Amino acid sequence: MYIFTIVREVIATPALLVGLVTLAGLLLQKKPFAYIVKGTVTAVVGFILLSAGSDFLQNGALKDFGVLFAYDFHIQGVIPNMEAIASLGIAQYASEVSAVMLLGMIANLIMARLGPFPYIFLTGHHTLYMACLLTVVLHGGGISGWRVILGSALVLGLFMAMMPAVAQKEMKKITGEDKIAFGHFSTIGCVAAARIARLATGKKQHKDTEDIRFSSKVSFMRDSTVGIFIVMTAVFLVEAGIAAARTDLAALDISYGAGGGQNWVIYAMIQGAQFSAAIYIILSGVRLIVGEIVPAFKGIAKKLVPHAKPAVDCPIVFSYAPNGVMIGFLMSFLGGIVTMAALMGINAWYGTRLVPVIVPGVVAHFFCGASAGVFSNAEGGVKGCMIGSFVHGILISVLALAVMPVLGTLHLSGTSFSDADFCIAGIVFGNLASVLPDDGIFPLCVCCFFVPIVWEQVKRRQKM
């Protein structure tokens, strides 16, 4: 049990999981000892750097952004947040979620080896959250025991291999190659944004977000670090200015000066600088990970899963279009605001709280919206990035609302799942679990996993 606990914790720790995959790939390639140590440590440090940047952003500037937004505009409602809703589900079904996660990763390897989707999903926290979602919705459908664990694990393994395949066409356009995949359960939202961008702009040549021309007087805006600082400082100046006109900022739950307060203009500048610094840290971590894990993964692909590609967390795409990241975030957030206003209007029209009001979750709209911005830019340039990201913001807000009825008691907590794939998985399997008789959802989960494998094996035999 002690060894099992250690193994489970290593698998559940994304940095160690990435390091383990890198180590396995280098060992299978029989690289020199010094090269193995360097590559493994660099991959782990790169992921720690990426995680540190994400945490710094999420618990600093993004958190303050959300607090100021809610205060400035007197907004209360359901705030979609993956960490919050998943923690509630994990607390309720801890042992089952752990078992589902472990078995789901094994199922991912089986699907990648035998099925039509040769992708290995390496984003550990999203694996955990999807395991939590599936466990919750299958329990809500009335099944329990080993059926919940096995059924959820098989669907998890399918999603871990299939979702990167769904996004790979766009990933080729973004990266210019076919070596790495998108391992984040916001895939459907990002791909939908890209397709909408293509429809909105047509097939002609588009002006890329990274080709935005600045005059010589503002040439410093070409540097993404400087550009992000200026944009986010301006945003915080507006938010902090409105709040400061109404109250003492020190009374709000924000990181307002280490010494007990500072001028709101200085505060806004510091927040803009912290936002820009966090993005710089994330991009540095991405470069380290990609530089090590892609070459190392060739060993795993050759020995264990032929032609397999690593599917890595969403910041992997940020370095390809930093301007698209910022446009995607802001436009996705705007789409969330429009949806929130529409829901408030519906309630006002009927004179009652007919539907929950989905308040834009800043974390979801940043990481998913920024990714949608990069995807949309690849298909439609600047115009496509703006349109696709805006629609993405509406989409994830509507999906967060639609998934709430299948979450059982969790939907009473004031939060919901936010990213598109989680919501769609919950809506589909949650509703099927509630309408199918006599544990009918379990054989459906089994079929969903094994039918693609059987189909792929038949195709391979026909080619022989």
**Paired residues of 309 in beta bridges:** 119
- Rounded Cα distance, 279 and 322, in Å: 9
Q: Which two tokens stand for residue 120?
A: 């290995």
CA nearest 372: which of 385, 359, 358, 362?
A: 385
Q: Where are the domains of the chain?
A: 2-216+282-463
| pLDDT tens per residue across span 401-448 | 898 888 876 666 567 888 999 999 999 988 888 888 767 888 999 999
Count the residues in the chain: 464
pLDDT at res. 160: 94
pLDDT for 368 equals: 92
Which residue stretches of the chain have pLDDT < 70?
Answer: 1, 4, 8, 11-12, 14, 75-76, 203-205, 213-224, 257-261, 286, 290, 294, 297-302, 409-414, 438
What pLDDT does residue 314 have? 86
Q: Please report the pLDDT score of residue 289 as a whole number.
A: 72
pTM for the full model? 0.79
Q: What pLDDT sits at residue 76?
A: 67
Residue 382's CB is within 10 A of a number of other CB atoms, namely 20
What is the model's pLDDT at position 172? 93
Number of other residues whose CB lies within 10 A of the CB of residue 406:
23
Give me the residue label for tokens 């996660």: 101
Question: To 5 degrees, how large is the angle CA 169–CA 174–CA 176?
Answer: 85
